[in-house]
Amino acid sequence: MIVAGLQLDIAWEDPQENFSRATALAEHAAAEGARLLVLPEAFATGFSMQSEAMATHAEAITSFVSDLARHLDVWVLCGFVELGGERPVNACSLIAPDGEEKLHCRKIHPFSLAGEADHYEAGDTIDTITVEGVRVTPIICYDLRFVELFRTTAEATDCYIVIANWPSKRAHAWRTLLAARAIDCQAFVLGVNRVGDAQGYPHRGDSTLLNPMGETIAILADRPGIVIGEIDPVIVAQTRKRYPFLSDRRPEVYENL
């Protein structure tokens, strides 16, 4: 399956403008043969701490993404803010070509350094879904730093998709952790980040597709565009058979440490 990350310069708290920007990139990616298109975390609003206000856009955002998936006959994975219990949540949705939602998850680790935990509730599940023969596990931004999420799902995953608003000042960590998770789990990893300025915080993108050895297939920095490449579960299986690192794990020991 061909996947494409859509690296947006997100207009701050302006869904309609971001719908326009996303559509242009999505049409380009679909024309290149991509079957799964991936938008960044909070693609329609930016990573705003005005969570209550941003959650009011959830219905419009999901409607836009459903229409986009149907129009282009592709799968679309996107991040957005929605109402939760006590506080809104930083969510992710996978929409099928028929416009129906097939997976829904919430960010498990709010980014405390930016005060996200004061404005957003934490999720508590991680899910994997098969998309056209590829087992896909979505991850949201800061969750990339927590290897536990990856290790517990590695054997059931061919490709991790990490959506983010990861700033330039920590770009080295972004690139390093994406590669580390590919190597840790012997899986493809697609990291989809934003570019542009977000209230004084620059983002350089570095959206990246890596193979199960942690080698870069495609990368894009500093400008809007698409990162595109093929995900092949056969390569995942072959890599794990040739290098049986995952089968050497000893979970029963780790639980007692």
Residues carrying an active site annotation = 41, 107, 141
What count of residues does the chain have? 257
| Cα–Cα distance, 201 to 218 (Å, whole number) | 25
Are 227 and 32 within 8 A, CB to CB? no
End-to-end CA distance of the chain: 40
Q: Which amino acid is at 134?
A: V
DSSP codes joined into one string, 128-174:
-EEETTEEEEEEEGGGGG-HHHHHHHGGG-SEEEEE----GGGHHHH
| Cα–Cα distance, 251 to 243 (Å, whole number) | 18
Q: In this structure, are strands 188-192 and 159-163 parallel, antiparallel, or unpaired?
A: parallel
Residue with tokens 């869904």: 15
Q: Report the sign of the C-alpha dihedral through residues 140, 143, 147, 151, in that order.
A: negative
Of the candidates 108, 101, 79, 102, the residue with the CA atom closest to the CA atom of residue 92: 79
Residue with tokens 């990139």: 25
